[in-house]
């Protein structure tokens, strides 16, 4: 009774939201470093499942779960500023050749973010600008892309341009909630 079936993925289950929230709160407070270790292991496991999957459905499920954990790793690794670790995870997932366009956008963003945070602003800006041109990109990722473009300009003391991007972030975030 602590798990629920995931209807869009046959045979898959997940913790109920209340159980998951309680477990994460406890993990954050008692074992902050363990969360990174846990997500790293789960990411690695589903990355292997992507490579070894027999059916397209198994691969799609593994890809979805793998990218979800990469998202959590991004949050944890960015807080620690371990850009080479994030770059290694991005390279590993790219090598597994994900198929879903949303995942490809997410991976492009992580790669660009690493470039920005390691002061390769030109490359990061080029990738982020390319992402902005993607019509089917999700709004939550678009907010992150615009924010990263603002950071590029801020870091290079182009404050007027940075402000322009930050205003777009605020506007889109307000519209999308």
pLDDT tens digits, one per residue of 89-112? 999 999 999 999 999 999 999 999
Tokens of 73: 């790793």
CA–CA–CA angle 6, 58, 8 (5° rounding): 25
At residue 32, does pLDDT exceed 70? no
d(C-alpha 93, C-alpha 71), whole Å = 12
Q: Tell me the two tokens of residue 158.
A: 């182009």
Q: Which of 13-22, 24-33, 45-54 has the lowest mean pLDDT?
A: 24-33
Specify the 3-state DSSP secondary structure of 21.
helix
**Spatial separation of the C-alpha atoms in residues 83 and 37, rounded to whole Å:** 16
Q: Tokens at residue 27, please?
A: 């993990």
Q: Residue 135 has what pLDDT? A: 87
b/e 83-103 (16+ beta carbons within 10 angstroms → b)? bebbbebbeebeebebeeeeb
Predicted structure pTM score: 0.81
Mean per-residue pLDDT, 33-48: 91
- Nearest 5 degrees, angle CA 69-CA 150-CA 107? 25
- Per residue in 130-143, pLDDT (tens digit) is 999 998 999 999 99
61 Cα distance to chain centroid: 16
- CA separation for the pair 50, 159 (Å, rounded): 43
pLDDT confidence of residue 26: 81
């Amino acid at each position: 009774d602590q798990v629920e079936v995931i209807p869009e993925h046959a045979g898959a289950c997940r913790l109920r939201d209340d159980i998951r929230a309680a477990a994460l709160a406890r993990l954050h407070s008692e074992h902050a470093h363990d969360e990174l270790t846990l997500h790293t292991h789960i990411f690695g496991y589903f990355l292997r499942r992507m490579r070894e999957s027999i059916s397209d459905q198994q691969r799609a499920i593994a890809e979805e779960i793998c990218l979800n954990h990469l998202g959590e790793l991004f949050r944890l690794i960015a807080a620690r500023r371990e850009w080479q670790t994030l770059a290694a995870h991005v390279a590993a997932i790219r090598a597994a050749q994900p198929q879903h366009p949303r995942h490809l956008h997410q991976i492009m963003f992580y790669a660009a973010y690493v470039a920005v945070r390691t002061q390769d602003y030109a490359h990061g800006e080029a990738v982020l600008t390319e992402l902005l041109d993607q019509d089917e990109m999700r709004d939550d990722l678009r907010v992150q892309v615009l924010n990263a473009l603002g950071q590029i300009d801020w870091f290079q003391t182009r404050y007027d341009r940075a402000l322009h991007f930050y205003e777009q972030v605020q506007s889109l975030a307000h519209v999308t909630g």
